[in-house]
Amino acid sequence: MADAPAPLAPRVLVTGASRGLGLEFVRQYAAAGARVFATCRAPEAAQALEALAAEHADAVSVAPLDVRDPDAIDAVVASVAADGPGHLDVLINCAGVSPRGEEFDNIRAEDMLEVLRVNTVAPLIVAQRCHALLARAERPRLVNISSSMGSLAKKDYGRHYSYAAGKAALNMITRAAACDLAADGIVVVSLHPGWVQTDLGGPQATLSPRESVAGMIEVIEGLTSEHSGRFLTWSGEEHPW
């Protein structure tokens, strides 16, 4: 029998929260009464996030986090552990980068490795460091924000080598972590947010951040153990690997 969905998760950690999808996750979870730990590389420059934190002063904490820095990750984990009951219901790995104008003939190894470091390796290390916090929750969920661009089945076009490869590798991390964390009851999924009007998606995209995140939160709140290790869309449909 599948696990029964629980009420909206009260304690959520979001990486990459300064703008786009990450910022919208903070906005919607805070409005729903969750305790939100919002992180980004430079909070002092994230005016929209700081304004949101001021509006929800009792619900939102903002902390600096460069996801490439294990010491910075440990500092965030320590602050979450010291806050209230000291567990984490949902970790949303949303931080990511995407190089512009990447073509077959202009790829540089160092640039590609940096994308993989941020988009693939960092989410795994953040999850590793948050493992104990998640394991203490009643219904923990680990959410990796992936992309349709990471789907092997849908890769029938060129370009975007670094970003596509990084998201495909992130999907593999989702699969592996779902197995390793099952004993702790941690549900692990990859989510495709859709084509969203962000810096990456552009103004011509079909979804607003509000629509995409509202859909993803609904999916997250409905996750059960049967979903672990799966690649889902923002509306809850199965996405091709």
177/30 Cα distance (integer angstroms): 28
- What HEC string does 129-184 produce? HHHHHHHCCCCCEEEEECCHHHCCCCCCCCCCHHHHHHHHHHHHHHHHHHHHCHHH
Instruction: Please list, in sequence order, all residues whose beta carbon lies within 8 angstroms of the beta carbon of residue 239, skipping any fewer than 6 positions away.
Output: 148, 151, 190, 192, 231, 232, 233
How wide is the angle at C-alpha 135 spanned by C-alphas 7 and 79, nearest 5°?
90
189/49 Cα distance (integer angstroms): 26
Name the burial class of residue 22, with classes exposed (0-12), middle (13-18) and buried (19+) by CB atoms within 10 angstroms of its CB.
Answer: buried
Tallying the residues shown for the chain, one arrives at 241
- Residues 216 and 235 sit within 8 Å (Cβ to Cβ): no
Q: Which residues are catalytic?
A: 163
